[in-house]
Chain A
Amino acid sequence: MAGLHKSEFSNPVINWVDTRLPIFTMMQKEYGVFPTPKNFNYFWNFGALAMINLVVMIATGIFLAMNYTANVAMAFDSVERITRDVNYGWLLRNVHANGASMFFIIVYIHMFRGMYYGSYKKPRELLWMIGVVILLLMMATAFMGYVLPWGQMSYWGATVITNLFSAIPVVGESIVILLWGGFSVDNATLNRFFSLHYLMPFLITGVVFLHVAALHITGSNNPLGIDVKSEKDTLPFHPYYTIKDAVGMCVYLLVFAVLVFFAPDYLGHADNYIPANPLVTPAHIVPEWYFLPFYAILRSVPSKLGGVILMFGSIAILFVLPWLDTSPVRSAKFRPIYRQLMYVFVIVCVVLGMAGGKPAEGIWVVIGRVCTAYYFLHFLVILPILGKLERPLPLPESISNPVLTRMGGGPLPGGAYAKPMEKQ
């Protein structure tokens, strides 16, 4: 419908703009008075933190690109020059490199949060799926970014990951040659990776916009996993959650700063300070820590195609998670068995990461295989069956009226539940 917006802003300039393009009204609606469940815990900080991290990555990346040279003869030296000669180049580079790690820490916690509290369940299935798309884009971006410094790990990481596609029957080899733009990872590959590495964060920004738009249609889930029943269950986003997010942001910046200033290379590999050499593979080649669980899944299958299928499958399975979990109850708080199994699942993911970081020999092969099996078991067997068998605890009437006794104690006397809520 065409027509001017009736703006309620008193400032004449803001009013003039808002009448023609109601962005101020939109911001006020979506981030000012937006009704948000009042019982968030700090796990609900991680979406906002991921958004901040994306901005940090784009800002530092734009300025790094001003000094980076995407050419096999100069890329390594140009990165060293950034560290040594460019004003604050050491800071930009360390923030950008460690920012990738921070991004994955945040997003993984954000996802485990979603799994624990059932945030992917109806009506938030699409919201969750858009999130998985963001994860895939992030992985591609991070992988291509890691190639740019053109050290040994960059080069051999690029070689190994692009070679995954050679597992595809019949057309695999042609696809790999297409990806490389030649017969090995070379200048053409580096150039296209730089181009795509610069492009993809903006695609991520677009998809994040969809993620937030979908979130603001369904509204946020909450630690109780029950729907908002009335206005009493909510608080305006500002100032309550802007402040709560700001507290989380301070902690996040603190951790980030420790990495950047005291251990900038802790999460990297020393071999990446050796310029790329297409004739010598490093003795122990592993991806960055955030890919290790997937790398472990890849290696645990003694078949080239099988490993690749399982690895991609481990992420693809997340797309259908909303339909694999058959329980109508969202929060693990009211699912005693799921709650225990959720902890097991997190531990399995961490152990997969550890197995991925070790040489593929001895006990770690067995551990990797067992954990890979459990990973798929969790999604394909446990979640569908558990939803039917498990007897959930009684759900609270509303967020303002939580059930306090674990074993379904029924309604409580008047004042008993008001007190603890004040702390939330």
Chain B
Amino acid sequence: MSAVAHAPQDGPHHGPQDGHAPDQSKRDFLKLVAASSAAIGVGALAWPLVDSMNPSSDVLALSSVEFDLAPVPVGQAVTVVWRGKPIFVRHRSAEEIKTAEGVKLADLSDPASDDSRVKAGEAQWLVVVGICTHLGCVPLGNKPTDNRGDFGGWFCPCHGSQYDVSGRVRHGPAPANLPVPPYAFMSPSRIKIG
């Protein structure tokens, strides 16, 4: 700022009648308005740059996949890719469902009942996002030869988290259950994820 900006102290002014105070506040107001307009302008220019990093239309267009359940035998699980992430689809046996439903909520670190994690009447199908809630590894347990951990679900090789047949965390550093993605049954043997 040059000295000119602070001149009002000396000499009479041709501004408002009551001395330099209103003139000074008018100047402050003008500065504030100018600075805020500039800030809004820069923000408006910056937004397209930032938003271009968000998912593009072609990426969003791929946000649902359909999957045929018929080939999955009881006791086995398969991995479906949805939005670049692995989705575990597991065909659970009646015994596994019974075990999952029998667990007391008090024993769980992230309490959730088994029926809150499946669709009503379709309890044999468990659909969860196959990404450990600890630090993002893909847990083992889909292949029959995999280590499924002590609870018969999934075992994460990175830091030893264990999930049960309902995809709930039972042991290890993971803070939450494997999330259930949005999905719906299109027919008894076909689901649409996303």
| A contact set with B: CB distance below 8 Å | 33, 59-60, 63, 66-67, 81, 84-89, 91-92, 236, 238-239
Contacts and interface: CB of A to CB of B under 8 A. Distances in A.
B57 A85 contact: yes
Given A238-B2, A239-B2, A85 B52 contact: no
A173 to B, nearest CB: 42
A89 B52 contact: yes
A87 B54 contact: yes
Contacts of A33: 2
A91 B56 contact: no
Interface in B31-73: 47-49, 51-54, 56-59
B58 to A, nearest CB: 4
Contacts of A87: 48, 51-52, 54, 56-57
B1 interface: yes
B140 to A, nearest CB: 34
A131 B51 CA distance: 35
Contacts of B5: 239
A92 B47 CA distance: 11
B52 A92 contact: yes
A60 B2 contact: no
A236 B5 CA distance: 12
Given A86-B57, A239-B5, 4 more contacts: A66-B53, A84-B57, A85-B56, A85-B57
B57 to A, nearest CB: 4
A236 B2 contact: yes
Contacts, number: 43
26 contacts: A63-B49, A63-B52, A63-B53, A66-B53, A67-B52, A81-B56, A81-B58, A85-B57, A85-B59, A86-B56, A86-B57, A87-B48, A87-B52, A88-B48, A88-B52, A89-B56, A91-B48, A92-B48, A92-B49, A92-B52, A236-B2, A238-B1, A238-B2, A239-B1, A239-B2, A239-B5
A91 to B, nearest CB: 5
Interface of B: 1-2, 5, 47-49, 51-54, 56-59
Nearest to B48: A88
Taking each of B2, B5, B52, B53, which has the highest tally of chain A beta carbons within 10 Å of its own beta carbon? B52
A238 B3 CA distance: 11
Contacts of A86: 52, 56-57
Contacts of A59: 49
Contacts of B59: 85
Contacts of A81: 56, 58
Taking each of A33, A88, A91, which has the highest tally of chain B beta carbons within 10 Å of its own beta carbon? A88
Contacts of A239: 1-2, 5
A60 B5 CA distance: 36
Nearest to B4: A239
A308 B59 CA distance: 47
Contacts of B53: 63, 66
A400 to B, nearest CB: 18
Contacts of A67: 52, 56
A66 B56 contact: no
Taking each of A87, A91, A92, A236, which has the highest tally of chain B beta carbons within 10 Å of its own beta carbon? A87
Nearest to A81: B58
A91 B49 CA distance: 9
7 tightest CB-CB pairs across the interface, nearest first? A88-B48, A85-B57, A85-B58, A85-B56, A86-B56, A87-B51, A236-B2
Contacts of A60: 49
A311 to B, nearest CB: 37
A81 B58 CA distance: 8
Contacts of B56: 67, 81, 85-87, 89
A67 B54 CA distance: 11
A238 B47 CA distance: 29
A115 B82 CA distance: 62
Nearest to A56: B45
A85 B59 CA distance: 8
A97 to B, nearest CB: 15
Contacts of B49: 59-60, 63, 88, 92
Contacts of B48: 87-88, 91-92
A238 B48 CA distance: 30
A237 to B, nearest CB: 10
Given A236-B2, A238-B2, A239-B1, A88 B57 contact: no
A59 B42 CA distance: 12
A74 to B, nearest CB: 13
A315 B49 CA distance: 35
A88 B59 CA distance: 15
A67 B53 CA distance: 9
Nearest to B60: A85
A66 B56 CA distance: 12
Contacts of B54: 87
A84 B52 CA distance: 12
Contacts of A89: 52, 56
A16 B49 CA distance: 34
